Amino acid sequence: MAKSADYRLGDFTFGRGWYMVADATKLEDAPMNLRYFARDLVLYRGESGTPHLVDAYCPHMGAHLGRNESSYIVRDKERIQGESIRCPFHGWRFGPDGRCDNIPYSDQKPPAAAKIGTYPVEERAGVIWMWFDEEGNEPSFDLPPLAMWDDPHWVQWKIDDLGELPQHPIEIVDNMTDMAHFTPIHGSRDIDYFYNEYDDHLQWQMFGAGHRTLIKEGDPPLELDTWYTGPGILQSFMRGEYPTHMLIAHTPVEDGVIHVWHALMVKFDHEATAEDVPAARAYQQASLDAFAQDFEIWSHKRACINPMMVRGDGPIDKCRLWYKQFYNPIARAGEFHSRLNGRIVMVDNRKPEDIPVEKRLADKQVA
């Protein structure tokens, strides 16, 4: 599999941004042992329920903070205390700021170097998200609000965990501008409009088209507003009788390998009840089936380092330039924004009066 350096993305191996690291419903009392960004990590809930994400290895003598069941620290339920995590080997304890705050057998103050790496974490919409930045800065953009999670008209999603995919994430992000794959892969027809828009750390794809099976000829097109917030979070809002809000999240595990999740929320015209859940799950499954059409290609393709473009392909070069901003120092982000911000229209057959004044329903009205 190809790596970041093969695609000449920039200074960093992994892009700066917010990423999904866990399905929040799976994080209970026991720490979760994770591997992302080519490092071993431990995710745990403090006694308050707040999640914390730390590097896995203890600076004392290198024990793994999460991979232990047999020690008396774990048996005596002393691993999590307050918001701190205690190492099972000799019992050093680390606060959520990563500093050692207790050595149970020593009258010596913990050395200043007794510190583990920590990462900003948020729990939102049933997902644990982390901020990753090789420069170690605070988040330079916000995690998507995903406010429909708390709106009773929406049936909350249940995350589909699709596991690991041996592809560099750029191959997935390419989809944003890949207009030519919609007909052969997804069964679209009569593309009414397709355009991309760049707005700093956001990349949009606005798409309206007919479909072989989902739409009858002459019916209004299926309309999807799809956008990336940074390099690892895709959301897609679809209008229709039942508006839906899809999430595709992908997080690097190693350079050139990602973990992928999918999920979908459905909005009803009344406060959703348990009776609406099966219909919402059926929509989620249909969405997953459409995503599987992309996934099958990604599962077997070779890396595409240099796309061979012809007229009718979308602006994949722009998409890749947008993506590179996250692999270079934040000080250079403005260069990318000033080169890219704006709209690139591939097709637009709509009459101006048919275009809503503000088409970005997805973030302005729903999110």
| Interface positions with ligand FES (CB under 6 A) | 58, 60-63, 87, 89-92
Of 24 and 58, which has the nearer Cβ to ligand FES?
58
Q: Pull the structure tokens for residue 147.
A: 């406010």
Residue 190 binding target from Fe ion, ligand FES, none, CB below 5 to 8 Å by type: none
Residue 294 binding target from ligand FES, Fe ion, none, CB below 5 to 8 Å by type: Fe ion
Q: Cβ(347)–Cβ(194) under 8 Å?
A: yes
Residue 87 binding target from Fe ion, ligand FES, none, CB below 5 to 8 Å by type: ligand FES
Of 242 and 298, which has the nearer Cβ to Fe ion?
298
Q: What is the dihedral sign for C-alpha 26, 69, 165, 285?
A: negative
Q: What is the DSSP annotation of 163-222?
A: EEE-S-THHHHGGGG-GGGIIIII-EEEEEEEEEEEETTEEEEEEEEEETTTS-TTSPPE
Of 62 and 145, which has the nearer Cβ to ligand FES?
62
Q: What is the DSSP annotation of 299-358?
A: HHPPP-SS----BTB--HHHHHHHHHGGGS-GGGHHHHHHHH-EEEEEEE---GGGS-SS
Residue 23 binding target from Fe ion, ligand FES, none, CB below 5 to 8 Å by type: none
Of 81 and 183, which has the nearer Cβ to ligand FES?
81
Of 61 and 147, which has the nearer Cβ to ligand FES?
61
Residues 122, 294, 313, 363: which binds Fe ion (CB under 5 A)?
294
Q: Smallest distance, Å, CB 121 to ligand FES?
A: 22
Of 13 and 68, which has the nearer Cβ to ligand FES?
68
φ, ψ of residue 210 in degrees (nearest 5): -80, 180
Of 48 and 108, which has the nearer Cβ to ligand FES?
108
Quick note: the x/- pattern for Fe ion over 25-64, rule CB under 5 A, is: ----------------------------------------
Stretch that binds Fe ion, among 77-85, 286-294, 296-304, 349-357 (CB under 5 A): 286-294
**Residue 288 lies near Fe ion (rule: CB under 5 A):** no
Q: Pull the structure tokens for residue 82.
A: 């307050």
Of 62 and 82, which has the nearer Cβ to ligand FES?
62
Q: How far apart are CA 347 and CA 313, in angstroms?
A: 11
Side chain identity at residue 114, one-letter code: A
Which DSSP symbol is given to 112? T
Q: Smallest distance, Å, CB 297 to ligand FES?
A: 45
Residue 60 binding target from Fe ion, ligand FES, none, CB below 5 to 8 Å by type: ligand FES
Q: Cβ(34)–Cβ(43) under 8 Å?
A: yes
In three-state secondary structure terms, 226 is strand
Q: How far apart are CA 331 and CA 267, in angstroms?
A: 40
Beta strands in 57-176 (DSSP E): 80-81, 84-86, 93-94, 100-102, 118-119, 121-124, 127-132, 154-155, 160-165
Q: 136 to 195, contacts with Fe ion by CB under 5 A? A: 175
Residue 277 binding target from Fe ion, ligand FES, none, CB below 5 to 8 Å by type: none
Q: 342 to 361, contacts with Fe ion by CB under 5 A? A: none
**Residue 292 lies near Fe ion (rule: CB under 5 A):** no
Give residues in contact with Fe ion (CB under 5 A). 175, 294
